[in-house]
Amino acid sequence: MRLQYIAIEGVIGVGKTSLAEKLADYFDAKLILEKHEENPFLADFYENPRQFAFPAQLFFLLSRYRQQQEIPQGELFHQLLVSDYIFAKDRIFASINLEDREFLLYDKIASLLEQDIPRPDLVLYLQSSTERVLANIRKRNRDYERNITEDYIRVLNEAYNQFFINYDASALLIINATEIDFVNRDEDFHDLVAQITRPVSKTQYYSPAK
- Residues 85-136 have pLDDT tens digits of 999 999 999 999 999 999 999 999 999 999 888 889 999 999 999 999 999 8
| AA identity, residue 193 | V
Point out which residues pair with 5 in neighbouring strands.
81
Number of Cβ within 10 Å of residue 130's Cβ equals 19
> What is the 8-class DSSP label of residue 175?
E
Kindly report, residue by residue over 169-178, the tens digit of the pLDDT.
999 999 999 8
* Domain at 5-206: CATH code: 3.40.50.300
Measured between alpha carbons, how far is 87 from 40 in angstroms, rounded to an integer?
A: 20
Measured between alpha carbons, how far is 194 from 203 in angstroms, rounded to an integer?
A: 16
**C-alpha distance from residue 61 to each of 4, 17, 209 (Å):** 24, 19, 37
Three-state SS at 189:
helix
Q: How confident is the model at residue 140 (pLDDT cuts 50, 70, 90)?
A: confident
pTM of the model: 0.89
Three-state SS at 29:
coil
> What is the 8-class DSSP label of residue 144?
G
Measured between alpha carbons, how far is 189 from 149 in angstroms, rounded to an integer?
A: 29
Kindly report, residue by residue over 30-53, the tens digit of the pLDDT.
899 998 888 999 989 989 999 999
Three-state SS at 93:
helix
**C-alpha distance from residue 183 to each of 17, 40, 188 (Å):** 10, 29, 8
Total number of residues shown for the chain = 210
Residue from 98, 118, 84 nearest 11 by CA: 84
Q: What is the pLDDT of residue 75?
A: 40
